[in-house]
Amino acid sequence: MLFCENIDSEPKFKLVSMKRILSIQLAILFAMNLFGQAEFGIIPQPVSIEKRGGTFELNNFTRIEVPDRAPEVQQVARWLAQYLLKVTGYQISIQPSSVARDSRGSVISIGLNRKEDPVLGNEGYKLSTDPGLVILAANKPAGLFYAAQTLLQLFPKEIESKTLVKKNYWEAPAVRITDYPRFGWRGLMLDVSRHFFTKDEVKQFIDEMVRYKFNLLHWHLTDDQGWRIEIKSYPKLTEVGAWNVKKTGTFGRFSAPEADEPRNFGGFYTQEDIKEVVQYARDRFVNVLPEVDVPGHSLAAIASYPELSCTPGTYKVNSGERFMNWANGGFTALIDNTLCPANEKVYTFLDKVFGEVASLFPFGYIHMGGDECAKNFWEKSDQIKQLMEKEKLKDMHEVQSYFVKRVEKIIESKGKKLIGWDEILEGGLAPNAAVMSWRGMKGGIEAAKMGHEVVMSPTTFVYIDYMQGDAVVEPPVYATLRLKTAYQFEPVPEGVDAKLIKGGQANLWTEQIYNMRHAQYMTWPRSFAIAEAVWSPKEKRNWDDFAKRVEKHFERYDAAEIKYARSMYDPIFTSIKKDTNKIAVELSTEITGLDIHYSFDNSFPDKYYPKYAAQLDVPKDAVNLRVITYRNGKPIGQMITMPVEELKRRARSR
C-alpha cells in the first residue's frame, strides 16, 4: 500500500506495510474504546462495551420480567427492584415474561442463558440496553447480580442517593456489554479487632464492595485488641477478650491504661450475628473468609485464658498502648502475645474454636493468620526447648511451622482448607496450605512455585490503611500508598503459573480507623483500582482513562454521601538537597491537567499566585511552602502547608 508524504514540499511515496497499517487501526480502535469507557464511567471496566443509538427510559410503569423461577434469580430481581424503589419511588413489579406488557412502561428482563456461554463462566454476563428494553443474561445468578451493578452505573449519579429522588423518568444510554472477571478471588479485608464495627456497619461495608464486583469479605475477627466472635466452648473470649479501654489519639502511642479505667470499649458478634452477616453476604454473592489470627496477635485470647501462653503471668487486652518493639528488619514483643506451640491445651482450644468457626462459615477456607509472630519469649521457654528436642526442630521458624502444620490438620478435620499470611512459609509450608502474600510478592511466588494456591495481597499495592497523600495532611500511618500506585497492582508475577494465583485483595487494617466514615475514606477510591485489577482484562489497563472514571464516581459518591479521599488532586513533593544550606523542591501530580499555585510568604495561594513550572529553590528564610491545585481556573485540591523544615528533613533522608 502506498501513502503520500509531503516532506519539504516535495511529494514522495513511502511503502507502508500492511502490518503497520493494522497496528495503526488497532491503536485508533483502542483509543476510541478508551474514550467510550471514560464516557460511560463504569468501574471496573467491562471486557467490551459498544455504544448504540438512543436511551433506555426507566419510569413508574417499568417492570422486571423474570422467566426463571430459580430462587437466586428471583432474589436478584427483588434486590434490583428494592434498590430502585428506594431511590426512584417507582413500584416496579416482578412478573413472568408471559404477562402482557403495558405500552407505557419499559421492561428489564433478567434471565439465565438456556445454553451456557463458555466465555462468561460463573460470574460473567451480557447486558444490552435499548429504548424500552434492558436484557440481563448470564449463566449463573451471580452474573445477573453483577449485570445489575453495571446497569445502575449507567444511570445518572443521583441513582446512588440513599433517599428518594423525584424524577419523571431516568435514562441510561443504549449499549451492548459483554463482561466477565479475570479472577475468582476478588477480596476486601475488614479488620474489626483493632476497632470494632457493628453488624450493621459490616453489612454496609458489604453493600459498598459489591457495587464494584468484589466477591469476598475477609473478616479479621481476632487480634491483640479484641476477640470478636462468640465461641460457646470458651465464653471468656468475649466476656474478657472483646473489651479494652477506650483511648483517643494515635494508636500505638496511647498511655498504658490505669487499673481503675473501665474496660467497656469494644464488642463482639454472637453466633446469630455471624449467621445473619454470612447470609446477608451470600444474598449478594459474597463469600466470607473468617480469620482467627494465631499463634501471634493472640493477646485477647491469652487475656481470657492465660494458660494458653508459654509465659506465666497476668494479661490484659491491649488498648493501643505500645507492646512491641519494631525495628528495621525485625521485631520483638514486650509482652508475650503468642499461643504456646508446646502446650497441648492450645491444640484442644483451637480444635474447639475452629470447629465452631467452621460451622458458622460455609466458605471452604479458614484463615489462621500466622503473621508477625514474635518469638523472643519462645526462646526463653523451657517448654519450647523440650518441644524442639522432641520433634528435632532446629530453630524458631521450625517451631512455628510445627504449629502451623498441626493447625492445618485441625482445620482440615473440619472440612476446610487452611490459608495464612506468607510467614507460614517459614520453617516449611504445611502440605496443603494456601498462602496470602502480604510482604510483597515474594512469598506468593515461592508458594506458587511449590504448587500451592496463592492470593496476592502485597503491602506495596493493596494496603489501604496506608496514607493516600502527603503525610503533612493525612492521618498518620507509617507508609503511603497513592491511588496511581494501587492501580499498578498486577496479581500474576512473571514466571508463575497463573492457574495457582486465585486472585487478589485489598486490606483495611483499622489501628488508626475509629469509625465507618473514616473506613470509607481509606477504602475509596483505592479499592476502585483493586476492583479493576482483579476483574478487568490486564490489557485494558490505562491510568488516564481510569482517573477520568474515578472522577465520575466521586460525583456518584457525593450523591450517595459516601466519604472518599481526593488525594489524587494533591501535589507530590520531592525535596532535593543542593548544598549544605540550600534545598529545592519539585512538585508533580498523579493526574494530568492540573495547575499548582504556590507561595513561600505564609499567605494562602490561589490562581493569581505563581504557577509551578519547574524546580523551585526554597528561599533562605522561608518557613512554609503552601500549594493548591486548580483545574480550568477552579480549585480542585486542598490547601497544603508544607513546613520547610520537613522539606529539609526529607532532603537529608534521600
* Helix (H) or strand (E) segment spanning residue 313: none
* CA 516/CA 132 separation, integer angstroms: 39
* CA 530/CA 547 separation, integer angstroms: 13
* CA 188/CA 513 separation, integer angstroms: 16
Structure-block grid coordinates of residue 230? 462468640
Structure-block grid coordinates of residue 25? 487501526
Q: Which amino acid is at 413?
A: S
* CA 377/CA 384 separation, integer angstroms: 10
Report the number of secondary-structure helices (H) and strands (E) in the chain: 17, 30
Structure-block grid coordinates of residue 341? 506451640
- Catalytic, out of 208, 223, 291, 570: 223
* CA 529/CA 468 separation, integer angstroms: 13
- Please name which of 641, 631, 638 lies closest in space to residue 600, comparing C-alpha atoms: 641
Partnered with residue 6 across adjacent β-strands are 11
* CA 145/CA 572 separation, integer angstroms: 39
Pairing assessment for the beta strands 93-95 and 125-130 based on DSSP bridges: unpaired
Tell me which residue has cell 453489612: 203
Yes or no: say if 438 and 459 are a contact pair by the CB < 8 Å rule: yes
* CA 438/CA 508 separation, integer angstroms: 12
- Please name which of 460, 428, 427, 418 lies closest in space to residue 442, comparing C-alpha atoms: 460
Structure-block grid coordinates of residue 219? 473478616
Partnered with residue 642 across adjacent β-strands are 625
- Catalytic, out of 195, 218, 220, 297: 297
10 Å CB burial of residue 425 (0-12, 13-18, 19+) is buried
Yes or no: say if 107 and 136 are a contact pair by the CB < 8 Å rule: no
CA distances in angstroms from 444 to 316, 433, 548, listed in the order given: 35, 12, 32
Report the interhelical angle of 526-535 vs 543-560 (nearest 10°).
120
CA 446 to chain centre: 24
Straight-line distance from the first to the last Cα atom of the chain, in angstroms, rounded to the nearest whole number: 54
* CA 63/CA 103 separation, integer angstroms: 11
Partnered with residue 126 across adjacent β-strands are 137, 178
Structure-block grid coordinates of residue 149? 451493578
- Catalytic, out of 117, 171, 351, 372: 372
> Which residues are CB-contacts of 95 (< 8 A; sequence separation ≥ 6)?
63, 64, 65, 66
Q: Say whether 372 is catalytic.
A: yes
Q: Say whether 208 is catalytic.
A: no
Q: What are phi and psi of 2, to 5 degrees?
A: -105, 135
Active site (catalytic) residues: 223, 297, 372
